[in-house]
């Protein structure tokens, strides 16, 4: 029973962790908590849904499920394209809103307010275009397979965990082994010093948005495969995302993932102990507890 | 220009002024103290529920229904929301501003959960009906009833406004702004910034609760969906548009934004067929969200700027210059 809670937490935590990487990167490099990040998750899922419908219309066979999974190649292709589109959306948002505020030298709280406004506008735009009715990538029913030790998981859930692991590994390599990654870490450390030594801060900012948005899209697609697609899906994840970001320590990518997993497991435990209706409360309790005990998070520095 | 127009004007203003009370509470927290509260809906909701539970007639299916006078309900709202704000403030105000924002956002999520799930106290998703209205006996006469209600809300706004203006001009208010402008300097003068912030946060939260209670008794019905993050967003838009740091700006912003809100709802109702009203409502939120972002970029100080307030013992020239 306990192992199953761990498994459920791991699946939910993958989505939270993927979203939290984007939050932690924007937080440490652009220096504000982005309340619109949840909307990138929802937009990513809807963009993937739209592209996959377009592909499905063009090539019928692409919708047939691959192996044990509930989705076909069409969704995989749509997912990759949607990652790019979500990145473009984030860049457009930065160009229209955040960049202007940065150039004006607006204080952080005004930028947070603006992200709050952008979040409202982006979410309601989804509701306007796609209505509040939930949508699904596939309606295929999956049977959970026994994995030993009394743990059961569906192939899709295992796919979600595997995809998260692969993406996190890729991001880790990018941040530690490439010049772009080093530039990002330099800007997060000290932006003015980084620009003095020749780091192109604007390029770093664009990279942050693209990476954060692509991972948000991944979180949205996973959540869409495992649960459903709704305009509010990202907004409902916002508190867990912030909890994971602060728990892991702002700016730390491994921290965001570990924070996400802990919050996911905390939620799964809350579902077992006090009931599913209080699930969202778990993120709040974890968040408040970290802020009191260790505001810098697990991997954070003071 | 019939009776309906008058009744509607009174209704519109009453509604706008209930928001003005909430907005004044936010102005103390943000405008005067620089505390970023993204959980306004939580404090408004706690006030509304506290007052409703105290004043509704006894009900078998939930706790409470104490049938107390409305003024007792309002006092209860002030206390309940004030205590919640005091607790949150005590918990998080020593942290950075962005952490307070995230925590208050979490409080709003938690209060939403509590409203939905503590059915024995809140009535769950169905909320609480039959919240008594002031001057219920006048209900037969639409005009008299709506103007009596308007009068009550005007009195409430006036009371809060005068209280806050006094507070702003008091030594306490000056220290508050000193802390906001330069915390280190204030600390060097022996002031305790944390305590001041917690006090301001609690008083602001209490006022938001009062606003929620006044609103609940005017609408006569409360439910969890009245207190979504949308409400937080509306009140913020009101303060930013009106001019944060300025109590008159807070009231002006509330009336203006509520006016734009109601007008845009009417326009969209005209443009869209009745079958797609839900979609139209989401388009309205898109427009308001975009408008808020535009205002933030174009005029972050709002319509009415903050008034420089100095001690009456300080230089007379400032007063003579019209800054009062």
* Structural domain that includes position B27: 10-228
B95 touches chain A (CB under 8 A): yes
Residue-level pLDDT at B309: 61
Whether residue B322 has pLDDT greater than 70? no
Give the distance from residue B12's alpha carbon to the nearest chain A alpha carbon, in angstroms: 24
In chain B, residues with a C-beta closer than 8 Å to the C-beta of A278 are 113, 117
Query: What whole-number distance in Å separates Cα of residue A120 and Cα of residue A196?
Result: 37
**Total structural domains in chain B?**
1
* pLDDT tens, N- to C-terminus, chain A (302 residues): 588 889 999 999 999 999 999 999 999 999 899 999 999 999 999 999 999 988 876 666 566 777 788 888 888 999 999 999 999 999 999 999 999 999 988 888 788 889 989 999 999 999 999 988 999 988 777 888 888 778 888 989 999 999 999 999 999 999 999 999 999 988 988 888 988 888 899 999 999 999 999 999 999 999 999 999 999 999 999 999 999 999 999 888 999 999 999 999 999 999 989 988 898 899 999 998 888 888 888 887 65
Phi, psi of B305 (to 5 degrees): -75, 165
Q: Does B19 reside within a domain? A: yes
Choose from A97, A235, A270, A291 for mutation: most chain B CBs within 10 A. A291
pLDDT in tens, A62-97: 667 777 888 888 889 999 999 999 999 999 999 999
Q: Which residue has the higher pLDDT, B270 or A215?
A: A215
Please indicate whether, in this complex, the C-beta atoms of A291 and B91 are within 8 angstroms of each other: yes
Give the side-chain half-sphere CA count within 13 A for A266. Answer: 20
Q: Band of the pLDDT at B320, cuts 50, 70, 90?
A: very low
Pick B213 or B139 by higher pLDDT.
B213
Query: What number of C-beta contacts closer than 8 Å exist between A and B?
Result: 125
The answer, yes or no, to whether residue B324 has pLDDT greater than 60, is: no
Q: Which residue has the higher pLDDT, B140 or B245?
A: B245
Task: Note whether B229 contacts A235, CB cutoff 8 Å.
Answer: yes
Predicted confidence band of residue B279 (pLDDT cuts 50, 70, 90): confident
Q: Cβ separation of A109 and B36 shorter than 8 Å?
A: yes
Structure tokens of A135?
A: 């949508």
CB A150 within 8 A of CB A159: no
Interface contact B109, partner A, CB < 8 A: yes
Confidence band of B317 (pLDDT split at 50, 70, 90):
very low
Higher pLDDT, A178 or B186: A178
A238 to chain B: which residues are within 8 Å by CB?
105
pLDDT over 90 (residue B276): no
d(CA B173, CA B84): 22
Predicted confidence at residue B284, as pLDDT, reads 85
* A101, A125, A284 member nearest B106 (Cβ): A284
Taking the domains of chain A in order of start, what are their residue ranges?
A: 2-293
Instruction: Provide the whole-model pTM.
Output: 0.89
Q: Judge: B105–A287 Cβ closer than 8 Å, yes or no.
A: no
- R_g of chain A computed on alpha carbons: 19
* Interface contact B228, partner A, CB < 8 A: no
Q: Which residues of B touch A241 (CB under 8 A)?
A: none
- Is residue B175 assigned to a domain? yes
Distance from CA of A80 to the nearest CA of B (A): 28
Helix (H, G, I), strand (E, B) or coil at B253: helix
Q: Is the pLDDT of residue B170 over 50?
A: yes
* Out of B98, B117, B279, closest to residue A112 by CB: B98
Q: Which residues of A187-218 are buried (b: 16+ CB within 10 A; e: fewer)?
A: bbeebeebeeeebeeeebbbbbbbbbbbbbbb
Give the model's pLDDT for residue A301.
65
Neighbours of A241 (CB within 10 A): 34
Better-predicted residue by pLDDT, B181 or B25: B25
Q: Which of A114, A125, A242 sits opposite B286 (nearest CB)?
A: A125
pLDDT at B187: 85
Asked if the C-beta of A113 comes within 8 angstroms of chain B's C-beta atoms, the answer is: yes
Task: Return the closest-CA partner of residue B165 out of B36, B27, B7.
Answer: B27
Inter-chain residue contact B279 with A128, CB threshold 8 Å: yes
ipTM for the whole complex? 0.86
Q: Which of A29-43, B165-179, B292-306 has the lowest mean pLDDT?
A: B292-306
* Percentage of chain B lying above the pLDDT 70 cut: 94
Q: Which residues of A touch B105 (CB under 8 A)?
A: 35, 238-239, 242
Check CB contact under 8 Å for A288 and B92.
Answer: yes
Residue B128 located in a structural domain: yes
- Do residues B135 and B145 make contact, with C-beta atoms less than 8 angstroms apart? yes
Q: Look at residues B64, B223, B62 and name the one whose alpha carbon lies nearest to residue B129.
A: B223
**Chain B environment of A296 (Cβ under 8 Å):** none
**pLDDT on residue B316:** 47
B314 pLDDT more than 70: no
Question: A2-293, what's its fold?
Answer: ABC transporter involved in vitamin B12 uptake, BtuC (1.10.3470)
Q: How far is A292 from chain B (nearest CA, A)?
A: 7
In-domain check, residue B317? no
Per the CB < 8 Å rule, is B240 touching A113? yes
Residue B269 falls inside a structural domain: no
- Name which of A23, A36, A121, A123 to mutate to probe chain B: the one with the most chain B Cβ atoms within 10 A of its Cβ: A121
Count of alpha carbons within 13 Å of A141, Cβ hemisphere only? 1
Q: What is the pLDDT of residues A180-201, one digit of tens each?
A: 999 998 898 888 898 888 889 9
More confident residue, B304 or B204: B204
Decide: B15 and B234 in contact? Cβ < 8 Å: no
Task: Give, in order, the Cα–Cα distances in Å from A70 to each of A64, A152, A222, A245, B128.
Answer: 8, 17, 12, 31, 44
Cα dihedral: A242, A243, A246, A248 (round 10):
-120
Contact A19, A41 (CB under 8 A): yes
Is residue B296 in some structural domain?
Answer: no
Q: Determine the pLDDT at residue A263.
A: 95
Tell me how close the Cα of B278 comes to any Cα of chain A, in angstroms.
8
- Checking if the pLDDT of B319 tops 70, the result is no
Is B280 within the bounds of a domain? Answer: no
Q: Decide if B16 is inside a domain.
A: yes
**pLDDT above 60 for B133:** yes
Task: Count the neighbouring beta carbons within 10 Å of the beta carbon of residue B103.
Answer: 26
CB proximity A109 to B under 8 Å: yes
| pLDDT in the model for residue B179 | 85
């Amino acid at each position: 029973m306990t192992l199953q809670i761990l498994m459920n937490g791991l699946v939910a935590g993958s989505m939270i962790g993927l979203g939290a990487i984007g939050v932690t990167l924007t937080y440490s490099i652009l220096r504000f908590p982005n309340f619109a990040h949840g909307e990138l998750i929802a937009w990513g899922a809807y963009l993937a849904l739209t592209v996959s419908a377009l592909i499905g219309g063009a090539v019928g066979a692409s919708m047939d499920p691959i192996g044990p999974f509930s989705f076909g190649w069409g969704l995989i292709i749509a997912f990759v394209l949607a990652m790019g589109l979500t990145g473009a959306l984030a860049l457009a948002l930065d160009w229209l809103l955040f960049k202007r505020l940065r150039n004006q030298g607006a204080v952080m709280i005004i930028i947070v307010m603006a992200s709050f406004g952008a979040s409202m506008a982006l979410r309601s735009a989804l509701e306007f275009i796609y209505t509040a009715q939930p949508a699904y990538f596939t309606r295929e029913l999956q049977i959970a397979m026994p994995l030993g030790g009394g743990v059961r998981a569906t192939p899709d859930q295992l796919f979600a965990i595997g995809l998260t692991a692969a993406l996190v590994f890729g991001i880790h390599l990018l941040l530690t082994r490439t010049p772009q990654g080093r530039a990002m870490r330099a800007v997060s450390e000290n932006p003015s010093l980084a620009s003095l030594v020749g780091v192109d801060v604007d390029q770093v900012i664009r990279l942050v948005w693209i990476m954060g948005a692509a991972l948000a899209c991944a979180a949205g697609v996973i959540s869409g495969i495992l649960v459903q697609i709704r305009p509010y899906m990202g907004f409902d994840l916002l508190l867990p995302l912030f909890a994971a970001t602060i728990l892991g320590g702002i700016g730390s990518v491994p921290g965001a993932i570990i924070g996400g997993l802990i919050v996911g497991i905390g939620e799964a435990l809350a579902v077992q102990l006090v009931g599913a209706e209080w699930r969202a409360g778990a993120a709040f309790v974890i968040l408040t507890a970290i802020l009191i005990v260790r505001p810098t998070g697990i991997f954070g520095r003071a | 220009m019939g009776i309906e127009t008058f009744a509607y004007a009174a209704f519109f203003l009453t509604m706008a002024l209930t928001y003005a009370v909430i907005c004044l509470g936010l102005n103390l927290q943000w405008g005067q103290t620089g505390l970023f509260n993204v959980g306004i809906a939580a404090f408004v909701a706690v006030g509304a529920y506290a007052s409703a539970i105290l004043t509704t007639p006894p009900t078998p299916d939930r706790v409470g229904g104490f049938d107390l006078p409305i003024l007792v309900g309002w006092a209860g709202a002030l206390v309940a929301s004030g205590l919640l704000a005091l607790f949150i403030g005590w918990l998080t105000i020593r942290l950075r501003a962005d952490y307070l924002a995230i925590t208050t956002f979490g409080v709003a999520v938690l209060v939403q959960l509590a409203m939905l799930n503590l059915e024995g106290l809140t009535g769950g998703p169905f909320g609480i009906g039959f919240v008594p209205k002031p001057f219920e006996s006048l209900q037969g006469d639409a005009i008299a009833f709506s103007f009596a209600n308007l009068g009550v809300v005007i009195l409430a706004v006036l009371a809060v406004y005068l209280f806050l203006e006094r507070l702003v001009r008091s030594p306490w208010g000056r220290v508050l702004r000193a802390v906001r402008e330069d915390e280190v300097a204030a600390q060097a003068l022996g002031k305790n910034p944390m305590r001041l912030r917690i006090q301001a946060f609690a008083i602001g939260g209490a006022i938001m609760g009062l606003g929620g209670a006044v609103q609940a008794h005017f609408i006569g019905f409360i439910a969890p969906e009245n207190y979504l993050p949308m409400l937080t967003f509306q009140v913020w838009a009101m303060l930013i548009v009106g001019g944060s740091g300025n109590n008159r700006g807070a009231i002006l912003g509330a009336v203006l934004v509520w006016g734009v809100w109601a007008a845009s709802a009417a326009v969209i109702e005209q443009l869209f067929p009745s079958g797609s009203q839900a979609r139209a409502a989401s388009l309205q939120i898109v427009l308001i969200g975009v408008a808020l972002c535009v205002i933030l970029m174009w005029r972050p100080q709002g319509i009415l700027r903050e008034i420089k307030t100095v001690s009456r013992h300080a230089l007379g020239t400032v007063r003579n210059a019209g800054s009062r």
